[in-house]
Structure 1
Amino acid sequence: MVNLSSVDLNLLVTLEALLAEAHVGRAARRIGRSQPAVSHSLLRLRELLGDALLVRVGTRMELTPRALRLRQSLPEALERVRTLLAPESFVPKTSTRRFQVVIHDHLADLVVPAIVRRMSVEAPRARLEVLPWESPFAMTAERLRSLDLFTSCEAVDLQGFERQALFGDRDVLVVRRDHPRLKRLGTLRAFAEARHIAVTRDPLDTWLATKGVERQIGLTVPSYLQALHAAAASDLVAFVPRRLAEALAAPLALVTAKPPLDQGPYEEFLFYPRRREDDEAARWLREIVVAVGKDVTTRSRRSPR
C-alpha cells in the first residue's frame, strides 16, 4: 500500500494530465508546466506506483493497462479532493470559477448572451466556456465528468446525471421573406419540389423517410444558425427549431411556415452531474440557465406568430 505521506498532490494533477493526453509535451501544456518538469514527475510516478504508465509503441506513446484503469477513476477522485479542499461558500462577486458547458448551437444563440449578461453582473470575474458541440451521449465518461452542464433534447436518463426541463420547442420551415414558394410551402407537393438545407446530424430526413417523403437537398451545413443565414440569402428552405427561427426572423428578413409533416413538440433539457448537486457555484450557474430558459418561453408567448 502506498504511504500517503510520501504523495504530493501535484503529482496526481500531473498524472491526470498524462493519462488524458498520453503524451508528455501535451500534458505539460495542459497544466502549464515545462516538459522537463513533467518528465521528472513521470519518473516519480513510475517509482511511486511501480508501473511504467506510458510506454513507447513505434513512434507514439501508449498507456499501460494500469494507466488505463487509473484514467477511469482518477478524475473523479481528484474532483472529490478539490471539493474537500475548496472553501465552503461560493461568493459570485469575487469568484474566478471557470465553468465548462456544452450547448447546441440553436440553444446557444438563444440563451448564452443572456447567461453572460447575468454573469457579468453577478460574477464579473467568472469565466464561461461553451465547448464545441458533440453529443454528450457519445462522449467518454472522462469528458462528461469535466462538464458543469450540457443541454439535449433527448429525454433519456444518463447514469450519474440529473435532468431538468428548460422549455419546449418544435421545428418549422423557414425561407426568405420574398420567397417565390412561400404561400404553397405548407403543401406536401411544394415541400417535395423545393430545394432544402440539411443540417448535419439532424435526424429529420430519417423521420421523413418513415413517412415516404424525401427532400431535395441543395446544401448541407453543420448548424441551424448557418442554415438560417443560407436561407436568408437564397431560395433554399430551412427546417429548424421554431424559437431560434423566431429570434432571427426580423434581423435576417425571414418568415416561418408550418410544415406539411410535423414531428410534434419536444423538450430541451438541462443535464448536470449528480456529484455537483451540492457544489454552490455549479448550482448558481444552473439556476441562471433555468431562469434564462423561462425567459425564452415568456418572450415566445409575447411575440406575434
Structure 2
Amino acid sequence: MNLAAVDLNLLVALDALLAEGSVSRAAVRMRLSQPAMSHILRRLRLLIGDPLLVRAGGTMELTPRALALKQPLAEALEQVRGLLEPSAFDPQTSDRRFEMMVPDHVFDILLPPLASRLAAAAPSVALDVRPWRGRAFMASPAAQGLDLIVACVGDDFAGFHRERLFSDTDVLAVRLGHPGRNALDELPGFLQARHVGVAGHGQTEDPVDTWLRDEGVRRTIAVTAPTYLQALHMVSRSDVVAVVPGRLAQALSGPLRLEILPTPLDPGTFDEFVFHPSRAHSDPASKWLRQQVRAVGRQLAETPPRLESAA
C-alpha cells in the first residue's frame, strides 16, 4: 500500500467507527453528518478491502478484520498524537475535547463545579461524558481511549492509575409530605415501605439489597430503576422511597423537594475513585484535567454529606 496516498483523517474516522461500532455514533464523535460518515466508510472499505461493519439483525457488528485492527489502530494514532502535539498545554488557548466516564450519581455533584472551573480556565475546552459501563469495561481497549474514569470501585486495573477522590454514604430519600414519614426512622417501617431499587449496567440487583441480605433483612422493592436520578424522580412524584448516595440526594433535595433521612441500619461510607490510563499519565493536557478533578474532589471532601430537607 502506498502510504503517501492514505489520508490520516481516514484513519481517525476508522478509529471512531471501530470504537463506536455505529455509523451514526461515529458521525457524532467526528462532528460529521451521517451521510458524510457513510461515504467515509465506503472509502475505507475500498482502501482496506473489507466491509468492516456489517448489519446483523437490527444492529451493526465489526468484522473479524475490523476487530483485529481496533487496538493496534488506537495505539498507532495515540503515538502519532504524541509526535504532533506540543509538549506544553495551555488551557486558555486549547480546544481539546476530553473524554470521561462518570456514573450518574457522581455526574450531578462533580460536573457542575468542574464545568465552572473549565469555563474560567479553559473556555474552549469541552468534555464528552459517558455513563459508567461496569467493571468489565475496564479491560476493553475503549477504556484506554478515555482521559479519566470515575467509579466506586477500589480495585486496581491493568493499564490504569487509581486515586481516591472523595467519600460518600447512603441515605434514605422520601418526598416532602410522605404519609409514612414517621415510621421510616425505625427498621420495621423502613423494610415495609415500597422502595425503588437501582441496578445499573452489569448489575442484577441493587447493591443495597446485597448488603441488607448480609444483615439478615429484606426490604420491599416495588420498582427497579437503571439510575439513581430516575429513582429520585420517582420518589419525588410518588410514595416510594429510595436508598441513594447522600451527596446526590443533598444536591437534588431542593429541586425535587425531597427529605433526606438516615437509614435505620448504618451503611458506613464508600469511596469514589478516579482512574486514568497509563498511556495518558504524562500527557500535559490529561494531567491538567486530573488536577481540576482533584480540586473539585477536595472541595467535596471538605463538605461531607449531611441530612437536610428541601425548604
- TM-score, structure 2 as length reference: 0.82
Shift of 1:131: 1.7
Q: 2:283 aligns with which of 279, 282, 289?
A: 279
SS in 2 for 1:234: coil
2:203 equivalent to 1:204: no
Once residues 35 and 176 of structure 1 are traced to their aligned partners in structure 2, the CA distance between those partners, rounded to angstroms, is 48
Query: Using the alignment, how far apart are the partners of 1:131 and 1:161 within structure 2?
Result: 18
Q: Is the contact made by 2:147 and 2:276 (CA closer than 8 Å) also made in structure 1?
A: yes
What is the identity, as a one-letter code, of the residue corresponding to 1:99? F
**In the alignment, which residue of structure 1 is the partner of 2:293?**
289
Q: CA deviation at 1:97?
A: 0.6
1:49 — aligned with what?
A: none
Larger Rg: 1
Aligned-residue Cα RMSD (Å) equals: 3.0
Quick one: distance in 1 between partners of 2:22 and 2:251?
A: 45
**After the TM superposition, which residues 42-53 of structure 1 pair with which residues of structure 2 at under 5 Å, given as runs?**
42-46=45-49, 52=50
Deviates further, 210-219 or 86-95: 210-219
Give the aligned partner of residue 13 of structure 1.
Answer: 12
* Count of aligned pairs between the two proteins: 298
Alpha-carbon shift at residue 127 of structure 1 (Å): 0.8
Greater displacement, 60-69 / 94-103: 60-69
**Distance of 1:245 and 1:217 partners within structure 2:** 19
**3-state secondary structure, aligned to 2:127:** strand
What is the aligned partner in structure 1 of residue 145 from structure 2? 146
SS in 2 for 1:73: helix
Instruction: Map Cα deviations across residues 226-246 of structure 1 (whole Å, 9 max, x no partner).
Output: 322322333221101111222
Q: Secondary structure at the match of 1:268?
A: strand
1:298 is aligned with what amino acid? E
Which stretch of the first structure deviates more once superposed, 3-12 or 266-275? 3-12
| 1:189-200 equivalence runs, <5 A | 189-200=188-199
Which residue is 1:257 aligned to?
261
Aligned CA distance change for structure 1 residues 25 and 209 (closer, same or farther; 3 Å): closer
Q: Is the 8 A contact 1:104 1:151 kept in 2?
A: yes
Return the offset for 1:189: 1.0
Determine if the alignment matches structure 1 residue 181 to structure 2 residue 184.
Answer: no
Please say which of residues 256-265 and 289-298 is displaced more in the overlay: 256-265
1:237 aligns with 2:241: yes
* Alpha-carbon offset, residue 271 of structure 1: 0.9
TM-score by structure 1 length? 0.84
Q: 1:97 is aligned with what amino acid?
A: R
Q: Equivalent residue for 2:203?
A: none
Given that 1:11 and 1:45 are in contact with CA atoms closer than 8 Å, whether structure 2 keeps it comes out as: no
Q: CA deviation at 1:22?
A: 6.3
Partner of 1:121: 120
- Give the corresponding residue for 1:270: 274
Q: Secondary structure at the match of 1:170?
A: strand
Cα distance, 1:28 vs structure 2: 7.0
- CA distance in 1 between counterparts of 2:215 and 2:93 reads 55
The AA in structure 1 aligned to 2:74 is P
Is the 1:149–1:270 Cα contact (8 Å) retained in structure 2? yes
- The separation in 1 between residues aligned to 2:236 and 2:108, in whole angstroms, is 17
